[in-house]
Amino acid sequence: MPDSLALTEATYYILLSLYAPRHGYGIMQQTEEMSRGRVRLAAGTLYGALNTLCDKGWIIQLPIDDGSRRKEYRLTEKGLAILRQEVRRLRELADNGEKILGEGK
């Protein structure tokens, strides 16, 4: 995993919402709630991102129950490692900003 990897805010919240298995609409709701309405995912954007994240091996689609159209997704170990790396990166950014600006003391 490259140290310079920086996730988009949408990708960050999608991965964070998939800490527990969730379907597409649930991901959209959780993302909007966690971002306090700042990040609103359109269905096309979400499903494109989910396909990309599956291709990267960061999430997996869970088996679909017979008769159901609802697709659920879950974070993989690789995705969890990426998410943890991003949290560390964001924490470093915030810590450096607070040091320079004299905030958080």
Q: Look up the CATH number of the domain holding residue 71.
A: 1.10.10.10
Residue range of the domain that includes 41? 9-101
Q: How far is CA 43 from the centre of its chain?
A: 15
pTM score: 0.86
Share of the chain above pLDDT 70, in %: 94
Three-class SS of residue 58? coil
Other Cβ atoms closer than 10 A to 104: 9
Q: Is residue 53 part of a domain?
A: yes
Inside any domain, residue 2: no
DSSP run (H or E) holding 27 = helix 24-34
Would residue 38 count as lying in a domain? yes
Question: Does the pLDDT of residue 1 top 90, yes or no?
Answer: no
pLDDT (0 to 100) of residue 67? 74
- Asked if residue 89 is part of any domain, the answer here is yes
Q: What is the pLDDT of residues 33-83, one digit of tens each?
A: 999 999 999 999 999 999 999 999 999 999 987 777 789 999 999 999 999
Give the mean pLDDT of the chain: 91
Residue type, 54: C
